Amino acid sequence: MSRPGRRTTWVGLCAVAAAAGLAGIVGSAVGAGAAHAVLPTGASHPALRTIDAPVLPGTALDRRMKAAQAERAMHRDHHHHDFGVWQANPDAAATWADFSKLEGVEWSIQHQDITVEVWVEGGVPRIAGEATVTVRAEVEGITELAFRSEPLEGVDVQAVDGVALTWGYDNAFGGQAGRLLLERAEPLPVGQNVDFRMAWQAKLDCDDGSSLLKPCSFGNTFQAVMFFRYFVQRWDTLHSPFTSVLHVLTPPDRAAAAPGIPTGPQSVPDGRIVWHFTQNERTSNAGFSIAPYDLTGDGLGAEAVKDKHALRVYTVGNFKSRADGFLELVEDAVATYGDWYGAFPWPQLNVIQTFDGLGGGYAPLGGVFMLRDIFGAQPGGQGWRGAVELTAHEVAHQWWGNLARPWTNGDVALSESMAEFTSCLYTEKRLSSRSQLLGNNLSYAWTVDADHDRPVGANNVYSSPAYVKIVYHKGAVVLDMLRHQIGEESLLAGIANYASAFDRDYATISDLRLAIEEVVGEPLGWFFDQWFERKGMIRAELSASVTPLPESGGARWALRVAQLSEQPFRFKLPVRFEFASGEPMSMDLEVLPPDDGFVSVVSVDLPAAPIRARVDGTRVLLRRFTGLNPGDVNLDGLVDGADLVELAFRNGRAIAVDYGGGQYFVPNAGYDELYDVDANLRILPDDADRIIEFAGASSPIFDAP
Amino acid sequence: MLSPRSQLCFVLVALTLSVGAWGCTQDSIAVGPLSATAPTTEDAGGSGAADTAQVPSSGWTVDVQTPPADGSPRLYLRHALDGQDLLVQVVIDGVDDLVGIAAHLRYDHNALELVESDGDASFLDSLTYRSKLLLHSAPDGRVLLGAARLLPEPPLGGPVAGAKAIEDATWATLRFRARAQPDASTGDAVEIGFDPEHLLARVSTYDRVQLAVGRLLVTPPAPGAPAAAEAP
């Protein structure tokens, strides 16, 4: 069956009928006595167009998107294979299949002891570092070691074990990276740690990217380094985690904050002080911030690490008055996620206020950096919802991205989609609102250009301009749909199973699926295939019919679902029926596309004809629906006064607004495209006029089971 | 020479002067308070039982069943006779905070022909809200009725306010005429009433209002029955 041909035929019949003045009767092709309204002119599916408009500035979605873009920039080194890694060693992926196999590779970086200092010289921020890098070989004959770094100056390398060492350093990839090559006169001893020392300097470009997305900052209050990798990694592998101790030199009136167990400060002879951060977990995410910090929560030092994790909040100035609120928020999030996914995995969590230009948040292992202004919010006050959403997302990264880590670019959903879903679930529970999830849903459904769309699990998803909308927004909604599909308890248990199985390991999206399947005991390949391996979402034309059942006195409600996507989706459709009298009924109807087509019909016998059928009323599904019988907004099979009544309650709900001379997208959770009869992205009195115009139109008769 | 419509207006005006007040315009069926010849008598006992009355005249027999006027929300019918025709008004009463209302009025389209219909949803108007009226005659003996209030330039979101204290507001006026039924047994009563499965009234909280409904049982005149006497 050809979909376009069938639609054309239907519209053609309507046009002929209208031309002949037979507004009430179409003809035998659709059943005697049936009437069908002509679709709005202008386009065959006007409701399916994408809004070509940016997000309304200053809205919660706008702030979340900027934060996500900042986070994306933070991870670019891990998720952009710009350095020709795979060309250099295409077999590397096979040997780095998971964390547990890291010890089995030829050699690895075990530990780095790094001292850094920052300053401004001639208006240019600079950083200098000294590091003792510990490596270990697992096989015989390793004499050459290649490392990747940021572009460096003044590099010097010395052997520690007395074995003669030659080395060379050059900038690679147009100056975007540095490559350090070491050659030893003797092979590394197998199974033994060997140190070498390196020293370097570098210029910091804090104006990389947009003005909101700064990798570093050297202001009056904060001096922070987020994106610059002040450590080396193996040149030819995707992942190169190591334990570390970071020492940060600061003026005596400042403090440093970073992930890890904090100790210090100690004085150094030149009057500065040095702070120490011990990271006993293998990771390659890091960052530090220097400011006149106040510390709230557990104190410094190893003695602060008791049987449970230590929790610290670093703030400056008057923001200290808000620190207790953030401490409680983080404690609650950690405890909640512990119930859902398994105990918090690290000995400490340091929540660090840093420069506003960060744009959002960044969560390395055991730490969370967030922009300054977030810390001005307090419970119940302005901005608190945004603070909760961002904090919840960043804390969730302690599990997603740091505990269980994405293996490839195509698995970034295991970090960002999981963190965003966790944040949405948390705000749903704690703030009793699905607005975060609904905003994500509408954002993807209405503003992703087809040319920019990618599957969530695509290896090239990172390169799409719509990356945030695909991975964060769609990804979170996909996980929520999985919750709807299998139940919340099963989903959380399945995710906890995954977290346990990939504790301190690298995983793929397939690993997540298998872990969940293990718990629920049913195959979920169909779900993961259609939502992670394909782009797009559910797009369907709906039409309903109601047939009396004289024997029972009830009625059969049938819904015809004609999917318009390139490939049809399988989904569980929530429906709620209201009747003129009696209690409403809610149920889920499984929509299974036929093997060879795009049209499904689902039906249910009801105690009476419904006065309203609300499909997906809470927008669980990632979808765009259009009504095949426009005006029948309540899907009771007939355009009548009840549709007018329902529209009155949605008057004004719009996802496109005119503001400051432009048109902007706003994720209005009250918007439902089925009520937008003239499909102009706004529900207005004009739509009521269309209902009145189409009054009496009933759905085309279709074969109902 | 008066046009037929003008003549009708004259008759109605004459009737109005003698029996009550129905307004009349050149272009529409008038609406207004009910004629005293077709009473909807109040039952002060508030038993909930419909009140009935039979009005035999001009060949029509109309059995009126109306919910009691005890202040509870109700949707009922008034009627008047005009020559060969039966005029029926749909009336809303006792509803507070109404945002929208919908109903299907059913009648036996084999016995009755709906020749004209007119509606008015202005009972939902206010300084800021404007009413929308849906009135559609379906071919199967059903009149689709709808009324709702909307702000002409609404905000993106926010609550909806309902209309206050609707009392005896006429929503629609319908003119029925008896069909000639050579093979049908005359004298059978047919109902003009509301389909209970298609009755909906919502207030500003989105809650539904339960409406007590009335109906008419009418026996159309036999073919050739004399028209109603003209008012002096």
What is the distance between the alpha carbons of residues A698 and B146, in angstroms, rounded to a whole number?
Answer: 16
Look at residue A100 and tell me whether its pLDDT is greater than 60. no
The DSSP output letter for A552 is: T
Tokens of A419: 């963190």
Phi, psi of B175 (to 5 degrees): -110, 120
- Report pLDDT for A237: 80
3-state SS assignment for residue A539: strand
Total length of chain A: 705
Please tell me which residue of chain B has the smallest CA distance to A553. Answer: B197
- Report pLDDT for B45: 34
How confident is residue A302, by pLDDT bands cut at 50, 70 and 90?
low
How confident is residue A601, by pLDDT bands cut at 50, 70 and 90?
very high
Strand partners, B117: B174
CB pairs under 8 A between A and B: 118
- Report pLDDT for A115: 96
How confident is residue A534, by pLDDT bands cut at 50, 70 and 90?
very high
What is the distance between the alpha carbons of residues A425 and A434, in angstroms, rounded to a whole number?
Answer: 8
- Look at A645 and B198 and tell me if their CB atoms are within 8 Å: no
The DSSP output letter for A481 is: H
Task: Name which of B101, B132, B140 is nearest A685 (Cβ-Cβ).
Answer: B132
> Cα angle vertex A226, ends A147, A126, to 5°?
75
Mean pLDDT value of segment B122-141: 96
The residue ranking higher by pLDDT, A456 or A298, is: A456
Of the candidates B153, B119, B144, B149, the one whose C-alpha atom is nearest the C-alpha of residue A694 is B144
What is the distance between the alpha carbons of residues A478 and A416, in angstroms, rounded to a whole number?
Answer: 12
Look at residue A409 and tell me whether its pLDDT is greater than 60. yes
Tokens of A135: 């490596």
What is the distance between the alpha carbons of residues A414 and A400, in angstroms, rounded to a whole number?
Answer: 6
- Report pLDDT for A242: 93
- Report pLDDT for A665: 95
- Report pLDDT for B224: 62
Tokens of A110: 């075990």
Global pTM value: 0.85
How confident is residue A230, by pLDDT bands cut at 50, 70 and 90?
confident
- Report pLDDT for B1: 39
The radius of gyration of chain A's CA atoms, rounded to the nearest angstrom, is 29
CB B120 within 8 A of CB B171: yes
- Report pLDDT for A597: 84
Look at residue A43 and tell me whether its pLDDT is greater than 90. no
Quick one: what percent of chain A has pLDDT higher than 70?
86
Which chain B residues in 151-170 lie under 8 Å from chain A, judged by CB atoms? 151-152, 154-158, 160
> Cα angle vertex A41, ends A34, A687, to 5°?
75
Sign of torsion, CA A157 A162 A163 A164?
positive
Of the listed ranges A13-17, A367-371, B93-97, the least confidently predicted one is: A13-17
What is the distance between the alpha carbons of residues A640 and A655, in angstroms, rounded to a whole number?
Answer: 26
What's the distance, CA A213 to chain centroid?
18
**A643 lies within 8 A of chain B by CB:** yes
Strand partners, B163: B98
pLDDT tens-digit map of A636-672: 999 999 999 999 999 999 999 998 899 999 999 999 9
- Report pLDDT for A172: 81
Of the listed ranges A554-568, B10-24, B189-203, the least confidently predicted one is: B10-24
Look at residue B169 and tell me whether its pLDDT is greater than 80. yes
Quick one: what percent of chain A has pLDDT higher than 90?
71
Look at residue A82 and tell me whether its pLDDT is greater than 80. no
Sign of torsion, CA A659 A661 A665 A671?
positive
What is the distance between the alpha carbons of residues A669 and A428, in angstroms, rounded to a whole number?
Answer: 14
How confident is residue A201, by pLDDT bands cut at 50, 70 and 90?
very high
- Report pLDDT for A309: 79
- Look at A651 and B154 and tell me if their CB atoms are within 8 Å: yes
Largest Cα–Cα distance of chain A, in whole Å?
99
pLDDT tens-digit map of B195-231: 999 999 999 999 999 999 999 999 988 766 555 433 3
Look at residue A278 and tell me whether its pLDDT is greater than 80. yes
Q: How many CB atoms lie within 10 A of CB A8?
A: 12
Sign of torsion, CA A507 A511 A513 A517?
negative
CA distance B211 to chain A (A): 10
- Look at A685 and B130 and tell me if their CB atoms are within 8 Å: yes
Look at residue A119 and tell me whether its pLDDT is greater than 70. yes
3-state SS assignment for residue A306: coil
CB B53 within 8 A of CB B76: no
pLDDT tens-digit map of A329-353: 999 999 999 999 999 999 899 999 9
- Report pLDDT for A199: 96
Q: How many CB atoms lie within 10 A of CB A295?
A: 17
Of the candidates A702, A459, A463, the one whose C-alpha atom is nearest the C-alpha of residue A600 is A702
Look at residue B67 and tell me whether its pLDDT is greater than 60. yes
Q: At what angle do helices A509-520 and A475-486 cross, to 10 degrees?
A: 20
How confident is residue B52, by pLDDT bands cut at 50, 70 and 90?
low
What is the distance between the alpha carbons of residues A118 and A121, in angstroms, rounded to a whole number?
Answer: 10
Q: b/e for A478-517, b at 16 or more Cβ within 10 A?
A: bbbbbbbbbeeebbbbbbbbbbebbebbbbbbebbbbbbb
Tokens of A153: 């100056």
What is the rounded average pLDDT for all residues in chain A?
86
Token pair 């809470």 is at which residue? Answer: A618
Residue A232, phi-psi category: left (phi > 0), alpha (psi -120 to 50), beta (remainder): beta
**B126 lies within 8 A of chain A by CB:** no
Mean pLDDT value of segment A528-540: 97
